[in-house]
Structure 1
Amino acid sequence: MIKSGLVIILMALVLEIGYVLADQDDSSPGPSVNSRGTIMPSDAARPEKQVLRSFLLEGTYQEWFRTVYKAMHGQRLIAEPLIRVDKNFELLPAAAERWEPSEDGLSWYFYLRKGLVFSDGRPLTAHDYVYTFRRGADPENAYDFEWYYRPIKNWGAVVRREVPKDSLGVHALDDYTLVVETGEVCSYLPALLTYSWVSPRQAVEKYGDAWSTKPETSISSGPFYLTEWSKSDRMVLKANPTYYGPAKPYLETFVGILFNQATQPPALPAYEADEIDFTNITSQAELGRIQADPLLKHELNTFTAFNAFYLTMNTYSGIFSDLRVRQAFSHAIDRNAIAKSALQGLATPAYAMMPIGFPAANADLHSVQRFDPVLARQRLAEAGYPDGKGFPYVEMWLRGGEAGSTKDAMEGIQAMLSQNLGIDIAVRNVERKIFMDALNGHTLELGLVPYGYDYVDPSNLLSLWMSNGRHGWRNDLFDRLVVQGGTIVGDRDRRRTVYQEAERILVEDVGAVFLWHSQNNQIWKSNIKGDAIEPNIFGYRAWRWDQVQNLSTTIYFTNEPRKGRRVSFWERLFGGG
């Protein structure tokens, strides 16, 4: 028995030494180089281990200016944009080394770096971006994201077929100078053009829209290129050996395991089985399980999404034309209670349109629409409805079959309005088209609206509230301030102050009752490292999709084991752990 025990111990010891040697072998005394010649960080695992796997919603194409809403993730990785954005939402040079406005502010000059090429060897020049933007505006292309580029001069006119494509305000002065004209001074155009992934004209003209769907026809200008797209199975991108831009990747391979919208993948079980390296967590039950797990809780990352859920009201006529009624609603809702109950782990209270961490967001606005049931009843009484007496019948609409935690939250709000104001509000789920028609037509009396940002700039979340937009609310001073903010170039502090003043008007005049911002929960392997996923200036880590082009080129796998994953020698020997 003693000999047998010694044999077992010796065998276990040999195994332990093997584990240690294997770990040591994964590092090298000096910096290593990956397949495309990029010098790797000193703690990086071997190049063959630089493979990132995640689930990926299958789309139709991988060309940004063909489709956005039905596109594949790879569109942001196989093409080079003019500008990228970092984790702190600062703009980074990409194809454009630098940019500047004209003296009158109606044009922006983008100076492209030389030496960039497509994967077929053809040089990438300003003329390719001219072609790309014209393709986006071409009515024959029927681009589903064309509205985003309306600040570009004549964009809308081209889409409406009023002028030819060559009238679009995008021109090449020479091979490496691109000029983008705007109809009005547009200080945020560079932020807008972080979404500017170039389309390869030679591929589009030869293979049509399907050029990006097959490795043999796909042409890359970005950090990765397509090597496999097996429908309903997987998509594989590899580091592009012909990419000479500033975002040379550490990763060798990205593997997307494909799924469709109707059949959601078992993300957390796949993560625990080491089949994927990253995923979003949207289930409260799964979130609770992760938080209780000794390993997974260290790999959970949470941050506030750049969106807002709010109650919109028709202030042009009816009961909500009275500011005191709107104020009563804003003070009657306990947002903290909602975030801690129906939306636990999925939301954080909202008191304004812009969440903290979004450029120009103002924490000082939190008190304006604070929960104060006494003040709420006072305002309602001042409006002529003491304790809710005489208040007319009102329906609170939800858009397109809202269910689950969102519906629970709205039923909670319904109860708060009853308890704190003495009024009964009916909650009604309305078909999406009917809801949107009523919203855009300014006939929606009261409804829940979720809205997420398009680009990281205050102009994006505030211009939505201008009087020419979708909401039944108008304030002329607000309109003037938002327009003014869009014209301020080169003075960030003044621009921030103008937008903050505009948002204060929106909140104080109760253009909406702001309820919550979504809370994103993500989990990724603790041996994934990189500047893009280190805490930003706001103090949180995020695997943000607006930054995927920067993130995917700066992250890498380290040669260290995942936190908590290693099992000790004695645990291996005697079990447990």
Structure 2
Amino acid sequence: MKKGGWGSLVFILLISLLLNACGGGNSDTDANGGQILKLNLGTGEPTSLDPAQAFDSNSMQVVHNLFEGLTRLDENDQTQPAAAEKVEKSEDGLTYTFTLRDGLKWSNGDPVTAGDFEYAWKRVLDPDTASGAAFLMYFIKNGEAYNAGKAEVDEVGVKAEDERTLVVELEQPTPFFEELTAYTTFSPVHQASVEGEAQPFAEADGYISNGPFAMKDWKHKNKIVAVKNEHYHDSDAVKLGGIEWSMIEDKTTIYQQFKKGELHLGDAPPDLMGSLIEKGEARVEDASGLEFYRFNTTKEPFTNKKVRQAFAMAVDRQAIVDQVTEKQQRIALGFVSPGTVTESGDFRASGKEVLQDAQFEQAKTLLEEGMKEEGWDELPKVEILYNKDDQHKKVAEAIQEMYREHLGVEVGLQAREVGVFFDEQKGLDYSLSRSSFLPDYNDPYNYLESFTTGHPMNRTGWSNKTYDQLLRNANGENDEAKRMELLHEAEERLMEEVPMFPLFYYNNVILEQENVKGVLRHIVGPNDYKYVEIEE
């Protein structure tokens, strides 16, 4: 080859490498030119992508965009027909009849039937499935009884009358039931590929879904790749060619990738967040749920209520929000988040704040009284359990210092990978644990039921008959004003007994590339990417 030919080839190769390095090639498109939305799961590997088991925010985000329930939330957080084209409710509010759209298909082309919904819901309730979300279906007739082994599966009030008709009977009128059917737990599953399989959703191979996107590849602890589901009934509305979820846990790396344009939605280290909000690089939107800390009430020293109260009162929430998280959150002085709206209005606005912040002197007095009651000259060992994350660590360290300064107590810190963290929390293998709550439907009952005796979300060992009865009475009360009174009374009792203490209510701090449009962020539930477009 002539010398000039080599030079031309080298020049072409250099230009090609430069374009690829700058993201100027096809980095945001697939082989067919479809736009690829690049996201990140900040906690790493999802705990499960089984609709019956996905119950943390990252797992639900993936499942929600691979599956679709009978209904789907719109941009105003209102339920709209999805897999079901029609919903009918009986006059007494006890029976719902869902008529599925004609021609629904799974991602492999098989028909989606009402039987797939019946099978999926009963699978969630099956005690052998051990779903942490089964309680969401206790509103269904005999749902709780079947989950507890006290009823047969055929007695559960879910029945496919034919391929397109699903009839659901409830225990009592449940005003938010239709909203629940938009939740990931209520997704159908492909019975033929799931039945008899120990882990049917553990790999990309054979993963079948019915939502806007379909699983293509899953490199564990690295990346999940989904593509547009061409069999989806509303595929024309889906503009993306697919979604890629990476699994980077370090927030500095996440932010660097976002700044380089390698992620469309990003995150940032806690020490940068405040300045990013001030500069307008990140925006703040309302959200739901809250950060809180659980006590293990079965383990000393938190078997003593006064000690629990002392540890709750010694925390300066406002200092944490202002100096540690810097995300403009509202401090939590109750458990139910603002924006939890019923027929009576916003629950938080209609009732008083239950707690006061930073009561240091009273905290020290209560600690002394509690230790005297137990005969302790020295407080039993306390350690804070948290899942590995830069912000969780900084908050835990701040609380650790508050206990040293205001109670004279030294506490340890235990950081765990997310899977181990949840296992230890569920097994009550901790003394004090960082926790979070994201509601499954927009009603205060969803928050407060979490601390009823034996509830899978309780994870404190705490049990209180009066509290349980208040929740039962509220659940069976048809007068909305009386129901709210019962729920406010229950929240007050929860704060008095202190099996946990709230820190701050969540908001959304959003880092989003300017060319990304159409992300639906709901007050309740994970992000919906069905309508996302990436502008050129």
Which residue is equivalent to 1:554?
Answer: 531
Q: State the SS of the aligned residue for 2:326.
A: coil
Shift of 1:177: 2.9
Q: State whether structure 2 residue 185 is matched by structure 1 residue 200.
A: no
Question: 2:411 is matched with which residue: 427, 432, 450?
Answer: 427
Shift of 1:250: 4.1
Question: 1:487 is matched with which residue: 476, 487, 493?
Answer: 476
Deviates more, 1:60-69 or 1:80-89: 60-69
Shift of 1:463: 1.0
Question: 1:460 is matched with which residue: 446, 458, 463?
Answer: 446
**CA displacement, residues 500-542 of structure 1 (integer Å, 9 cap, x when unaligned):** 3322332355454333345543311223233x55xxxxxxxx4
396 and 168 in structure 1: CA distance in 2 versus 1, 3 angstrom threshold = same
Q: Is the 8 A contact 1:250 1:555 kept in 2?
A: yes
Shift of 1:340: 1.9
Which residue is equivalent to 1:351?
Answer: 333
Q: State whether structure 2 residue 263 is matched by structure 1 residue 276.
A: yes
Q: Is the 8 A contact 1:100 1:110 kept in 2?
A: yes
Q: State whether structure 2 residue 321 is matched by structure 1 residue 339.
A: yes
**CA displacement, residues 150-207 of structure 1 (integer Å, 9 cap, x when unaligned):** 5545556656777664444321233333233455665544344322221123444699
Q: Hey, what's the Cα distance between the residues in 1 that align with 2:208 and 2:429?
A: 48
Question: 1:255 is matched with which residue: 209, 232, 243?
Answer: 243
Which residue is equivalent to 1:53?
Answer: 38
Report matched runs for 1:43-442 at 5 Å: 50-56=35-41, 63-65=50-52, 74-86=62-74, 88-99=76-87, 107-119=94-106, 122-138=110-126, 145-146=133-134, 148-155=136-143, 165-182=153-170, 187-193=175-181, 194-195=183-184, 196-204=186-194, 219-226=208-215, 228-229=216-217, 231=219, 235-244=224-233, 249-259=237-247, 266-281=253-268, 283-287=269-273, 290-291=276-277, 297-301=280-284, 303-304=286-287, 306-310=289-293, 312=295, 314=297, 321=304, 330-345=312-327, 348-359=330-341, 360-363=346-349, 364-366=351-353, 368-373=355-360, 393-399=379-385, 405-417=391-403, 420=406, 423-429=407-413
Give the letter for the 2:291 counterpart. Answer: A
**CA displacement, residues 30-50 of structure 1 (integer Å, 9 cap, x when unaligned):** xxxxxxxxxxxxxxxxx9675
342 and 112 in structure 1: CA distance in 2 versus 1, 3 angstrom threshold = same
Shift of 1:254: 2.2
Q: Hey, what's the Cα distance between the residues in 2 that align with 1:59 and 1:159?
A: 25
Q: Hey, what's the Cα distance between the residues in 2 that align with 1:63 and 1:313?
A: 29
Q: State whether structure 2 residue 432 is matched by structure 1 residue 447.
A: yes
Give the letter for the 2:273 counterpart. Answer: L
Of all paired residues, the percent bearing the same amino acid is: 23
Shift of 1:399: 1.8
Q: Is the 8 A contact 1:117 1:243 kept in 2?
A: yes
Give the letter for the 2:293 counterpart. Answer: Y
Which residue is equivalent to 1:574?
Answer: none
Shift of 1:417: 5.0
Q: Hey, what's the Cα distance between the residues in 2 that align with 1:371 and 1:206?
A: 54
Q: Hey, what's the Cα distance between the residues in 1 that align with 2:223 and 2:114?
A: 34
436 and 103 in structure 1: CA distance in 2 versus 1, 3 angstrom threshold = same
Q: State the SS of the aligned residue for 2:353.
A: helix
Q: Hey, what's the Cα distance between the residues in 2 that align with 1:145 and 1:345?
A: 30
Q: Is the 8 A contact 2:104 2:233 kept in 1?
A: yes
Give the letter for the 2:438 counterpart. Answer: Y
Shift of 1:277: 1.1
Q: Hey, what's the Cα distance between the residues in 1 that align with 2:48 and 2:496?
A: 44
State the superposition RMSD in angstroms.
4.7
- Size of the aligned set, in residue pairs, is 485
Give the letter for the 1:353 counterpart. Answer: F
Q: Is the 8 A contact 2:453 2:464 kept in 1?
A: yes
Q: Hey, what's the Cα distance between the residues in 1 that align with 2:449 and 2:129?
A: 27
**CA displacement, residues 56-77 of structure 1 (integer Å, 9 cap, x when unaligned):** 5556985524766796855323
**CA displacement, residues 284-304 of structure 1 (integer Å, 9 cap, x when unaligned):** 2342564476xxx34544555
Q: Is the 8 A contact 1:223 1:249 kept in 2?
A: no
Q: Hey, what's the Cα distance between the residues in 1 that align with 2:126 and 2:365?
A: 55
Q: Is the 8 A contact 1:149 1:155 kept in 2?
A: yes
Q: State the SS of the aligned residue for 1:117.
A: coil
Deviates more, 1:229-238 or 1:520-529: 229-238
Q: Hey, what's the Cα distance between the residues in 2 that align with 1:438 and 1:230?
A: 27
Q: Which runs of 5+ in 2 are unaligned?
A: 1-31
Q: Hey, what's the Cα distance between the residues in 1 that align with 2:109 and 2:429?
A: 56
Deviates more, 1:328-337 or 1:405-414: 405-414
Q: Is the 8 A contact 1:311 1:447 kept in 2?
A: yes
Q: State the SS of the aligned residue for 1:482.
A: helix
Shift of 1:483: 1.7
Q: Hey, what's the Cα distance between the residues in 1 that align with 2:243 and 2:426?
A: 41
Q: Hey, what's the Cα distance between the residues in 2 that align with 1:252 and 1:495?
A: 44
Q: Is the 8 A contact 2:297 2:499 kept in 1?
A: no
Q: Which runs of 5+ in 1 are unaligned?
A: 1-46, 534-541, 560-577
- What is the TM-score with the length of structure 1 in the denominator? 0.67
Which residue is equivalent to 1:573?
Answer: none
351 and 315 in structure 1: CA distance in 2 versus 1, 3 angstrom threshold = farther
Q: Hey, what's the Cα distance between the residues in 1 that align with 2:47 and 2:427?
A: 33
Q: State the SS of the aligned residue for 1:425.
A: coil
Q: State the SS of the aligned residue for 1:307.
A: strand
Shift of 1:351: 1.0
Q: Is the 8 A contact 1:310 1:448 kept in 2?
A: yes
Q: Is the 8 A contact 2:267 2:511 kept in 1?
A: yes
For the pair shown, the structure with the greater C-alpha radius of gyration is 1
Q: Hey, what's the Cα distance between the residues in 1 that align with 2:318 and 2:151?
A: 52
Q: Hey, what's the Cα distance between the residues in 1 that align with 2:40 and 2:429?
A: 41
Q: State the SS of the aligned residue for 1:306.
A: strand
493 and 51 in structure 1: CA distance in 2 versus 1, 3 angstrom threshold = farther
Q: State the SS of the aligned residue for 1:398.
A: strand
